[in-house]
Structures are given as structure tokens and as C-alpha cells.
Amino acid sequence: MKKGEIVEIKTQEAEDRKRDTASDIGILNFALSLEHLESEFYKQGLAKYKREDFKNYGYDDKNWERIEHISKHEATHVTFLTSAIESLQGTPLPPCEYKFPLDSLESFLTVAQALEHTGTSAELLGHSGVPYSFDTPLNTREVIIIASNFVTSCPFNLAITPFTQLTATLPKKGDVKVETWFEGEKADTKYWCQLLYNDKIMVSPREECAPPATVVGYVYVVITDSSAPISLSDDSTIVAGPALLFNRSHDEY
């Protein structure tokens, strides 16, 4: 091996390490942006609803303590990720400006469930299995559009183009159909509804969009222009979504 070849190999290795570091920083900053959102959500919620408020709503101390515990964890996550990014000589993303639905304690707790579910889906990055066998994996763009519902402005650009925002409503009493709406709909285009729940995907014509009666809990709704099930590696057919719905038991309607 010639001297020039050795230098070239070492240069390539250095470039590879630089790219790997940049990729690691990007992944950590994506996680940090979500942790900023969750940390601020719990901070605002607990500033508005105290232990006594939980009691007045019929919750015992354990419920309040659980939320307080989660809030501290989210703040710790922000500190840890910030330190990790700085250790790689990266620049941690700052928090955005947020607006959360905190009109009532019930809405606060409902959004808390949704955010925890979305965070878990983002951490999965497509790898379902123990202990997450009942969680739904999402890719980066899908997580971003859900989180963007609570963001009013940001001092940075994640360089991720979100999908068109989708509005979806659960079936009314006596009905089973999920109503969907998004900007830019084309009358001459055939759309499909894809429901993501647990580790499954259910595809149906948009006009027949309805979660199975046996599915209770969080369901993601995505509108596509193809009947082919979407995947984490191929989301090219998504035209709007995902929207997050909480599907109740039919006994609750």
C-alpha cells in the first residue's frame, strides 16, 4: 500500500465519523424537540392544576403524584439530551412556543395520554415488540405533524416537511364512520383511509373509514392516494395526516 493510499483511507474514515456524528446529533435534536414540547406541557399543566384540583375532580393523590413524576422525568430528559448533543460538539435546539388545550383537567390528562403515546411511537422507530407490542410505530414526519398541533412558532427549522394536516372526528352515536377533512382535496382523486393501531394497519376506501369495533384506545388516521399499506420506509402515498383519535368502546357511546 502506498503512502498516498493510507492518507486517503484515513481521510475517508474521518469523513465517515463526521457524517455519523452529524446523524447522531440530528437524531438527538429530534428527540430533544419532542422532549421540550412534553416538558413544557407538563410544566404549564401542573402550574394550572394543583394537587387540590385533582382531588376536586375525584382523583386521589397518586394521580397527581404520577403526573408530577412524569413532569420531572421530561425535564430530566431535556437536560440529558442537551448535554449529549453538546458533548458531540453540536448545538441543542431551543424550545418552541406552544399552546396546549388546558381548559379543564380532563383535557390536560387526555393530551397527556396522547403525548406519551406519540413519544413512545417516536422512540420505537419502527421496531415493535416486547415491551411495546401494543404500540404503533411512526416515522419522523408522522410524529412531527402530530406535535405541530401544539406549536405556535419555532426559532428553528427541523428541515422536515410535514404532511398536510388532517382533521378527523370519531363516529357520532349510532354511526361507525370516521369523518376526515384536509386542505387541497381533489374531487377527481380516489382516497383511502389507513388506520394504524397497535402494530396493525387497516386500509379501506375513505368513505368507509371506520375502526374495528374491537379496537379501543389510540388510533392514527392517515389519508393516502393508494390502497397499498404505508410503511415506515415508504410514506410517498400519504396526502394528509396522521390525526390521532381515541376510539372508545361502543358501550360508551
Distances (CA, A) of 94 to 29, 99, 144, 156: 9, 16, 16, 8
Distances (CA, A) of 224 to 243, 247, 248: 13, 21, 24
Q: Which residue has the cell 415506515?
A: 232
Average pLDDT over residues 71-83: 93
pLDDT at 22 over 60: yes
* Interval 173-191: pLDDT, tens: 666 788 999 999 998 999 9
Instruction: Name every residue whose Cβ is closer than 8 Å to that of residue 153 and which is 6 or more positions away in sequence.
Output: 96, 97
- If pLDDT is split at 50, 70 and 90, which confidence band does 41 have? very high
pLDDT at 20 over 80: no
Q: How many angstroms separate the CA atoms of 164 and 157, rounded?
A: 17
For residue 39, give the nearest of 127, 121, 150 by alpha carbon: 150
Pairing assessment for the beta strands 97-98 and 238-247 based on DSSP bridges: unpaired
Percent of residues, the chain, with pLDDT higher than 90: 30
Q: How many angstroms separate the CA atoms of 16 and 5, rounded?
A: 16
Ramachandran region, residue 209 (left: φ > 0; alpha: ψ -120 to 50; beta: rest): beta
List the single range of 120-124, 146-150, 224-228, 243-247 with lowest mean pLDDT.
120-124
Computed over every residue of the chain, the mean pLDDT equals 79
pLDDT at 80 over 90: yes
* C-alpha cell recorded at residue 168: 378527523
Query: Where are any strands of DSSP class E within the chain?
Result: 97-98, 151-153, 167-169, 179-181, 192-197, 200-205, 217-224, 238-247
